[in-house]
Amino acid sequence: MDSLLSEKKLYYQRVIDIWEGFCQLHKELFELTCEEYITLLASDLEKLESMIPLKEEIIQKIGDLETERGELVEQINSRNIFATRILKAGDLLTSFSELDQAHGLPALRNLNSLLIDIVEKIQDQNKKNQMFLNKAMASLREVKQGFSGKKTYTTYGADGMARALGR
Block means of pLDDT (10 residues each) for the chain, 167 residues, are 87 97 98 94 90 96 97 95 93 92 89 97 95 82 70 63 60
Q: What integer pLDDT is reported at residue 162 of this predicted model? A: 63
Q: What integer pLDDT is reported at residue 150 of this predicted model? A: 66
What is this structure's pTM? 0.80
Question: Could you give the CA distance from residue 112 to residue 117 in angstroms, rounded to a whole number?
Answer: 9
Q: What integer pLDDT is reported at residue 165 of this predicted model? A: 59
Question: Could you give the CA distance from residue 135 to residue 142 in angstroms, rounded to a whole number?
Answer: 11
Fold of 2-154: Methane Monooxygenase Hydroxylase; Chain G, domain 1 (1.20.58)
Q: What integer pLDDT is reported at residue 105 of this predicted model? A: 85
CA distances from 90 to 66, 94, 119, 121, 163 (A): 14, 6, 16, 21, 43
Q: What integer pLDDT is reported at residue 22 of this predicted model? A: 98
